[in-house]
Structure 1
Amino acid sequence: MLEMNRRTFLKVTGTTAAAVAVAPKLVGAMETELGGKDIDPVGAGERVGIPVTCHVCNIQDGAIAYVQDGRIVKLEGNPEHVSTRGRLCAKGNSGMWYTYDPDRITYPLKRVGARGEGKWKRITWDEALKEVAGKLDEAIKEDPNSVFLKYGRNRTGGAIDRFMHTLGSDSILNHTSVCESSKKVGLEPTWGPDIETPDFAHAKYILNFGSNILEAAYFHNPLSQRVMEGTVENKAKLVTFDVRLSNTAGRSDEWIPVFPATDGAIALAMGNVILSNDLQDSDFINTWTNVTVDELKAHYKQYTPEWASKLSGVPVETIERIAREFATTKPATLFTYRGPAKHLYGSYNEKACMMLPIMTGNIEKRGGYCMPRGMGWPQPEPQPPKPAKHAFMNAHHHPDYPLASHGTSHMLPYHIANGDVKVKVYFTYQDNPVYTNPGAQATWGKMFRDEKLIPYYVSMSPFMGEETALADLILPDCPYLERWEPESMPNSLHPWLGIRQPVIKPLGESRENRIILRDIIHTLDPDGSRGMKKYWEFADGEDYMRHHFDNVPKLKEDGGLDFLKKHGVWPIYGKLDGTGKIVDKTGREIEAEYGLHMKELSADEMLGAIVDPTAGTITKNGEAIGVQRNGKNYVGFSTPDRRLNVRVDGWAKYGFNPMPTFKQIPWHKDMQDDEMILTTYKINVHKQSRTAAVKWLAEIMHSNPAWMNSETGKKIGVKTGDLVRVESKVGYVVTKAYVFEGIHPKVIAIPTGFGHWEYGRLANLKHKEKAGGEYGAADDADLNNVWWDDRGVHANAMIPNVVDPIGGSQGWYDTVVKVTKAGPEDKYGDVKGDWDKHMEAYKESLRYAYTGDLHRTMHPEMAAWGGPDSVNQEAAHQAAPAPEKAPEAEAAPAEGAEAAAKEAAH
């Protein structure tokens, strides 16, 4: 600690004054700099700036890291980056504290006690690699698919798939089913991409369903900039439907509270108003979709505002007014994220919402609902072949969830416990499901502690997270400022390529992930005789990256990787001006390209092509390359027929409604008066499980009281600061209440990212119990300044497993709970989850899969669809028909099955 007295004060101020005196021109110039340079405030020397792509979260902002005397001293936005335009959020500005975490692991560790006991010994890399190679050798000889790798964030640009395919394993699991898989599956069949990029900056009307764009949504930094441009500069109206008064709802022109999981019903009712009043864009629908306006009108008749109002609590007049405003204000756009999608039938909700810009023709227009713009790069050659056998838990091959193309990984503990899959070696990378997944320590923690279920477990991590603490072996990976990675994110209407590059050498014995994977393969196949080593013949991370970027057309001419090392991003579209926009040499803002689907095919592209006389699809060499419309040959959308598939026939094959529809959560239908629905959410200075140990962020927010409506608080006798017990059918937590008007009366909301029991001394507030640097990192004396004593409470142990039978998502926002004032035995921070009850919830969720007994009762209307390829055709025709005129039958199970559905839910 610096003792500040008169002597030290004069010394510091004298040095600073001298620096100003010797560099007055420099200081004056810095006043007008827009970024890209940084000056040592004491010595007045310019610090070394190295461009990177941020990876504190998954938004991938352009950043610059400043290094002085070999230490990272500051991070700021990259002014040359077209997407984030010189801006960096609080999380990004704090990124260096990943590198300098005093509890960071900097050398390999081998478990010496029981799993989770916290006893480790330091070993060498040679010892670690030989041990892993030995375990892998045994496993792949028996069954390559018994080698599992589950990742949370995989920004390796293909290295993880290359590693697993080199081993012959198809058992690669992502985290997407707890993130946004049902959103993706709701979007993909209709227009091809799994995400959208709304042009908020040029919109006149922005409709937001359940997304906290300004704080925690996907692409928070770039999209929040554009939302502010649209609302402030372009005078766009922003309307938010949400269960709580989020930061985005608070900045909206209107916040409309809704009952959870009913976004889709509101969107369908808005569609009903638009179509019944002929406010739709008929030409766009008839030209670019696979249905007609008349078909849409007939289908949407059932979804009246009165029907949606009963489900959502939103007044009929409000639904009708917002629908008319959206349809008549041009251009208009829409956004969703997890709010509508993280439910039992989240993919239906997403589909219903995206229909609004489709039916009003606001697609691929300036200020409208646009397709994502991304860029790719080649992989190093040769590449390993795909595995010979598909794995049960691979994202594309789950037998009960065939449409869940992004996986259902949150079901893994139950599949392993049931014997559906067998694991011999388990790898984890940037993942922490023991904390982040439903059930948390009660399910994933139990699985990892059981050596019969997971015989050998390797964590590639620089931090002792809740999952890593249960490993057999820890291989210290590097934080993002010490590794190489390729990057491209469709977070702007201008496509870009970027890199992460080491701004300092890896600390201690840390190795970046692609080097760890290479070294494992080289240990397994040192002389190449097993045919593995040839896929990993690169000298280091930079060499690997040259294979990606030195042969990208146009980038190659600009210098390839060397250009990216200098700028961090390519292409450079223009220069950041004083208003925060990227402009050309004349000072005009760089405009995006719109109407991507209307790009015409050239004569050369049409040579040898075949045009389908009915759908207009243009195929060449067996692949669709475009669609013919009004006598012209267009690229179209990236769907199989190159049109927007409003009717998704692939869903009907498995007994799901191919048209936009809504299904009410069965256990929400008849909730008791003392029951509420739990929702969780993210805040702008934290993300998932990985920021509670970042000291700047932890000081800003370190606790997470449960939001509750004032009327609800009065009913149960609770005021702000009181302890409450929140109990579901699988567990409970005891936490503090925050009582106010900004939340739906039937909802209780608890933010995530708090209540750690591992992840270092700061995250779990054990900084006073022992010194840091236990695993080779330098201690941080600043932890002596921690003034707070509340680490918050983690709610995931009481959230049961729920799977959207279409998109595979976890139903994060479906949990019914009872909230009571805490009893005399309840203590703040109590968390309880029951494995047996979680297993029951998993089995109940399976009943809604297309193979389950409740699937047909939830889709009685499908008796009329059938079709030669319908898996459930025979069973569907045996079910009682439900005509289209009765949407209430879609909102709840058919009569006779209601009791079964309620029993399954509770």
Structure 2
Amino acid sequence: MLEITRRKFIKVTGGTTAAALAAPSMLRAMETELGGRDYNPESYKERKAIPTNCHVCNIQDGAVAFVEDGRVVKLEGNPNHVSTRGRLCAKGNAGMWYSYDPDRILYPLKRVGKRGEGKWKRISWDEALNEVAGRIDDVLKNGDPNEIMLKFGRNRTGGVLDRFMKTLGSATVLNHTSVCESSKKVGMEPTWGPDIETPDFANTKYVLNFGSNILEAAYFHNPYSQRITEGRVDSNAKIVTFDVRLSNTAGFSDEWIPVFPGTDGAVALAIGHVILREDLQDSDFITDWTNVSVRELKAHYEQFTPEWAAELSGVPAETIERIAREFAHASPATTYTYRGPAKHLYGAYNEKACMMLSIMTGNVEKRGGYCLPRGMGYGQPQPEPPAPKNDSVLAHPPEFPFASHKVSHLVPFWIAEGRQKVSVYINYMDNPVYTNPGAEAVWGELFRNEELIPFRVVLTPFMGEEAQTADIILPDVPYLERWEPESMPNSLWPWVGLRQPVIAPMGEGKEHRVYLQELIHRLDPDGSRGMKKYWNFKSSEDYVRQQFENVPGLKEAGGLDWLKKEGVWPIYGKLNPATGKVSDKTGREIRAEYGLHKKELSRADMMGATVDEEGIIHKNGKAIGVQRHGRNYVGFPSGSRLINVRVAEWAEYGFNPMPIFKRIPWHENLKEDEMILTTYKYNVHVQSRTASIKWLAEIVHRNWAPINTETAKRIGVKTGDLIRVESPVGHLVTKAYVTEGQHPRVIGISTGCGHWGYGRLAQLKLKEKGGEFGAQEDPDLKNVWWDDKGVHPNAIIPAVADPIGGSAGWYDTVVKVTPAREGDRYGDVESSWDKHMEWYKKTMDFTYVGDQHRKMHPEMAGWAGPDSVEPKTPSGH
């Protein structure tokens, strides 16, 4: 509690007056500047400003840390950053509390009891690294390098983790993308090349938003929410959102249209049907830039009538027809999606159907339209280790030939089946025990099994749920204490940025490059094993300096030294105080470059090239461009240089190569008392790492389940009542939140709450003693006024997987919702490995080698079957 005495009040106010009289120019600067400077509120001494890149979530906003007496006291946006333009979201503003978490781990730990028992002893770095290196060495001498597995969540290391695993010769590298947006990526990649889009929201006239909460939880919500607000205000854009709940984005939209889960693709196909039926498409664009004809597209879309989609989705046919005409006549216009359409059994089909609306109307790579991502990138220190000799079945399961972003949420079942031995399991910024389908019932069960996982190493500064079952914990450092290169395609202007230490690593914490290098040097002290040569950088700063050596223009501007000072390259202009936008030297707003596919090939490019009957330009065995109307263009970054409406490779495995919709079988005959469980994220939380941040936890700390008003009446519950949510794999007990802003057949439970790890605040165990692992106690924890930490839903969500994209079917779970039974208590969660194993087997039946595949694709009757196709790894894996 803040205590102000009369003496202190006079001292502070007197000091303030003196400072004001002494430095009027400074005060004027504070009033007119848009950021980049900050002052102590008592002494008015200017604080040290150090630019960096945020890493609370995966957006990587440009930030400035203000440091006073060696401590970060404030974070704000970097006004020189073209993408985020001086703004940080609430999560970014709170990022310093990762470093100052009172339950942070500040020295290496080794378990001394059973896994998960919570008994640890402090050990030295030498002891920890020697044990880890010894375990790895045993595998390299006596087994297969692929027995060493690394799974990461947010990997923004700039390639360090891949370098480490390649040095060891292991291909068993898994990410978390199958629980994020992998089917969105796999729907997009074969279609036009990149795995993401960058809509020009600021200049559009119409946005069709399918299942994305752009304003708070989408992939690039800070830069995108700025631009979509500009589009609404400056361009009078209309926004239509299809979603199962009234999200902040849906509430900001002109129209919110509740849609039955997983049917976004059906609605998009029906909108396309109307556009093509009424000849509202851009025929020239389709003819020039796709691999289908207008006639073929019209014939294919005849089946997707508004009436057909209305029956599946609940969206009235007349609404579909009206929106189709509005979208087609609005120019420019764009679509946007994220997890909503993608996180389903056939999410890749849904994504393809949605992106087709921008394609068929020609709203691609134009001002206000659906644009390719603009990336800049950076290099790698040389020499680089070669790719592993043998592939990993866990990383590239043959049943999922197109899952280029892995199917990591099914890995526990594959390990249990003995598909691949795992002797050393390494975690980095990944908490599958909390964030994955099945949660504790699946991943906790796996991690406690010392026969399946003999040795576990967790690289983390926090005692998360995944760390609780480690053998060794290496205390990594939060993002404000480490070096990393950054380049995110989150604006129409490409950039590279720097994450640099704004304070020294606390305690005995070390960043990943340092201890991974030390591990390699222990394994290969004299270089005789051929490993050490890939890790001979002098320091983390030296490593990153080498990565920026060949970025065009950066070296001439000063390279890493420029980035240490400015945080980002290039600086396109200054933030205009009147508009909040970036202006060039003349004061005019900077303009993006459009039409990237229409850049022309040079004479040198065309030397030795050939042009086929379709106008595709080939050279050295690859398509390098497209010849149209006598000009040679680079085209799209797909394999064919066209937009592939028809993905021929999908047909090789019995999947429909054209835009299509597949209904989730267990949604077809829902009983009266059944609903669909969906999850969502609050704007102040990420998947697992923010519940211990007091500023954020104070805003959101519970996640009562939104349920529609009429549904609640039928069930007989009101807001605050205990309800039981029962799925095929378990049940939980939570509280209802009755609202009109929810689809009547959907119950939503947000992730981000209900922790049983991550420290005292996340668990609300505030009476326990702090500083257990070396961190300084935070007296502010005494001011926690709430007593509800929420209930985590993931344990009752089965591990379904899209057979094309590999995504987890987050939004597919059928549940029964009833008033709580006698004996039910708030926070009860029950689930079992055996029930999850049954659903794992069920989802594998939908892969191209499974029994359900042919039943789901009767239109592919001519497909010869899996025996005619030898499992292979498609290009790009």
CA distance in 2, matches of 1:380, 1:583: 35
Question: Counterpart in 1 of 2:875?
Answer: none
Conserved in 2, the CA contact under 8 Å of 1:212 and 1:246?
Answer: yes
CA distance in 1, matches of 2:555, 2:610: 35
Per the alignment, in what secondary structure is the counterpart of residue 761 of structure 1? helix
Provide, for residues 438-487 of structure 1, a one-character-per-residue CA deviation record: whole Å limited to 9, x for no partner.
00000000000110111000000000000011100000001000000010
Instruction: Say which is worse superposed, 352-361 or 25-34, in terms of deviation.
Output: 25-34
CA distance in 1, matches of 2:590, 2:240: 28
Conserved in 2, the CA contact under 8 Å of 1:305 and 1:319?
Answer: yes
AA aligned opposite 1:254? E
CA distance in 2, matches of 1:840, 1:86: 50
1:807 matches 2:812 = no
CA distance in 1, matches of 2:457, 2:242: 43
Conserved in 1, the CA contact under 8 Å of 2:653 and 2:866?
Answer: no
AA aligned opposite 2:604? D
Question: Counterpart in 2 of 1:355?
Answer: 356
Instruction: Map 1:170-189; keep pairs closer than 5 Å.
Output: 170-189=171-190
Per the alignment, in what secondary structure is the counterpart of residue 836 of structure 2? helix
Question: Counterpart in 2 of 1:636?
Answer: 635
| 2:857 counterpart (843, 856, 859) | 859
Query: How far did residue 872 of structure 1 move?
Result: 9.9
**Over aligned residue pairs, what C-alpha RMSD do you find?**
1.2
1:750 matches 2:749 = yes
Per the alignment, in what secondary structure is the counterpart of residue 434 of structure 1? helix
1:513 matches 2:512 = yes
Query: How far did residue 631 of structure 1 move?
Result: 1.5
Per the alignment, in what secondary structure is the counterpart of residue 641 of structure 1? coil
1:599 matches 2:599 = yes
1:779 matches 2:780 = no
Question: Counterpart in 2 of 1:898?
Answer: none
Provide, for residues 379-428 of structure 1, a one-character-per-residue CA deviation record: whole Å limited to 9, x for no partner.
1111111101001112xx21111111110000011011111111100100
Conserved in 2, the CA contact under 8 Å of 1:600 and 1:635?
Answer: yes
Conserved in 1, the CA contact under 8 Å of 2:209 and 2:242?
Answer: yes
AA aligned opposite 1:785? N
Q: Unaligned stretches of 5+ in structure 1?
A: 874-906
Question: Counterpart in 2 of 1:107?
Answer: 107
Question: Counterpart in 1 of 2:874?
Answer: none
Question: Counterpart in 2 of 1:895?
Answer: none
CA distance in 2, matches of 1:165, 1:539: 20
AA aligned opposite 2:406? G
Instruction: Map 1:201-240; keep pairs closer than 5 Å.
Output: 201-240=202-241
Question: Counterpart in 2 of 1:336?
Answer: 337
CA distance in 1, matches of 2:766, 2:524: 44
Instruction: Map 1:468-487; keep pairs closer than 5 Å.
Output: 468-487=467-486
CA distance in 2, matches of 1:606, 1:830: 66
CA distance in 1, matches of 2:306, 2:862: 25
Question: Counterpart in 2 of 1:901?
Answer: none
Closer, same or farther in 2 for the Cα pair 1:148/1:351, shift >3 Å? Answer: same
Question: Counterpart in 1 of 2:167?
Answer: 166
CA distance in 1, matches of 2:862, 2:471: 54
Q: Unaligned stretches of 5+ in structure 2?
A: 872-877
Query: How far did residue 553 of structure 1 move?
Result: 2.5
Question: Counterpart in 2 of 1:14?
Answer: 14
Conserved in 1, the CA contact under 8 Å of 2:654 and 2:865?
Answer: no
CA distance in 2, matches of 1:353, 1:521: 46
Query: How far did residue 42 of structure 1 move?
Result: 1.0
AA aligned opposite 1:863? A
1:429 matches 2:428 = yes
Question: Counterpart in 2 of 1:411?
Answer: 410
Conserved in 2, the CA contact under 8 Å of 1:866 and 1:872?
Answer: no
1:546 matches 2:545 = yes
CA distance in 2, matches of 1:720, 1:654: 48
Per the alignment, in what secondary structure is the counterpart of residue 679 of structure 2? strand
Conserved in 1, the CA contact under 8 Å of 2:674 and 2:815?
Answer: yes
Query: How far did residue 824 of structure 1 move?
Result: 1.6
Provide, for residues 801-833 of structure 1, a one-character-per-residue CA deviation record: whole Å limited to 9, x for no partner.
100000000000000000000012100000111
Conserved in 1, the CA contact under 8 Å of 2:145 and 2:170?
Answer: yes
Per the alignment, in what secondary structure is the counterpart of residue 761 of structure 2? coil
Per the alignment, in what secondary structure is the counterpart of residue 600 of structure 1? coil
Conserved in 2, the CA contact under 8 Å of 1:656 and 1:862?
Answer: yes
AA aligned opposite 1:784? K
Conserved in 2, the CA contact under 8 Å of 1:652 and 1:870?
Answer: no
Instruction: Map 1:610-759; keep pairs closer than 5 Å.
Output: 610-612=610-612, 614-759=613-758
Instruction: Map 1:278-317; keep pairs closer than 5 Å.
Output: 278-317=279-318
Per the alignment, in what secondary structure is the counterpart of residue 749 of structure 2? strand
Per the alignment, in what secondary structure is the counterpart of residue 760 of structure 2? coil
Query: How far did residue 620 of structure 1 move?
Result: 1.6
Question: Counterpart in 1 of 2:51?
Answer: 51
Per the alignment, in what secondary structure is the counterpart of residue 241 of structure 1? strand
AA aligned opposite 1:805? P
Per the alignment, in what secondary structure is the counterpart of residue 31 of structure 1? helix
Question: Counterpart in 2 of 1:843?
Answer: 841
Question: Counterpart in 1 of 2:69?
Answer: 69
Provide, for residues 310-363 of structure 1, a one-character-per-residue CA deviation record: whole Å limited to 9, x for no partner.
000000100000000000110000100000000000000000000001000000
Conserved in 2, the CA contact under 8 Å of 1:551 and 1:560?
Answer: no
Conserved in 1, the CA contact under 8 Å of 2:379 and 2:549?
Answer: no
Closer, same or farther in 2 for the Cα pair 1:721/1:71, shift >3 Å? Answer: same
CA distance in 2, matches of 1:640, 1:104: 47
Conserved in 1, the CA contact under 8 Å of 2:848 and 2:866?
Answer: no
Conserved in 2, the CA contact under 8 Å of 1:150 and 1:429?
Answer: yes
Query: How far did residue 867 of structure 1 move?
Result: 10
Conserved in 2, the CA contact under 8 Å of 1:653 and 1:872?
Answer: no
AA aligned opposite 1:202? N
Query: How far did residue 640 of structure 1 move?
Result: 1.4
CA distance in 1, matches of 2:868, 2:834: 35
Query: How far did residue 629 of structure 1 move?
Result: 1.2
Q: Normalized against structure 1, the TM-score is what?
A: 0.95
Instruction: Say which is worse superposed, 760-769 or 87-96, in terms of deviation.
Output: 760-769
Closer, same or farther in 2 for the Cα pair 1:867/1:629, shift >3 Å? Answer: farther
Query: How far did residue 10 of structure 1 move?
Result: 2.4
AA aligned opposite 2:169? G
Per the alignment, in what secondary structure is the counterpart of residue 763 of structure 1? helix
Query: How far did residue 523 of structure 1 move?
Result: 1.1
Question: Counterpart in 2 of 1:556?
Answer: 555
CA distance in 1, matches of 2:234, 2:718: 41
Conserved in 2, the CA contact under 8 Å of 1:637 and 1:644?
Answer: yes
Query: How far did residue 865 of structure 1 move?
Result: 5.7
Closer, same or farther in 2 for the Cα pair 1:872/1:662, shift >3 Å? Answer: farther
CA distance in 2, matches of 1:590, 1:520: 47
Closer, same or farther in 2 for the Cα pair 1:701/1:501, shift >3 Å? Answer: same
Per the alignment, in what secondary structure is the counterpart of residue 557 of structure 1? helix
CA distance in 1, matches of 2:870, 2:657: 14
Conserved in 2, the CA contact under 8 Å of 1:39 and 1:46?
Answer: yes
Query: How far did residue 769 of structure 1 move?
Result: 2.2
Query: How far did residue 12 of structure 1 move?
Result: 2.9
Provide, for residues 134-181 of structure 1, a one-character-per-residue CA deviation record: whole Å limited to 9, x for no partner.
000001221100000000010011100000000010000000000000
Query: How far did residue 587 of structure 1 move?
Result: 1.4
Closer, same or farther in 2 for the Cα pair 1:296/1:869, shift >3 Å? Answer: farther
Per the alignment, in what secondary structure is the counterpart of residue 714 of structure 1? helix
Conserved in 1, the CA contact under 8 Å of 2:846 and 2:852?
Answer: yes
Provide, for residues 638-678 of structure 1, a one-character-per-residue CA deviation record: whole Å limited to 9, x for no partner.
11111100000010000000000000000000010000000
Instruction: Map 1:147-166; keep pairs closer than 5 Å.
Output: 147-166=148-167
Query: How far did residue 868 of structure 1 move?
Result: 12
CA distance in 2, matches of 1:402, 1:64: 43
Per the alignment, in what secondary structure is the counterpart of residue 199 of structure 2? coil
AA aligned opposite 1:57? C
CA distance in 2, matches of 1:773, 1:720: 38
Question: Counterpart in 2 of 1:819?
Answer: 817
Conserved in 1, the CA contact under 8 Å of 2:153 and 2:430?
Answer: yes
Query: How far did residue 866 of structure 1 move?
Result: 5.7
Give the count of matched residue pairs: 869
Query: How far did residue 19 of structure 1 move?
Result: 2.6
Query: How far did residue 14 of structure 1 move?
Result: 2.8
Conserved in 1, the CA contact under 8 Å of 2:649 and 2:657?
Answer: yes
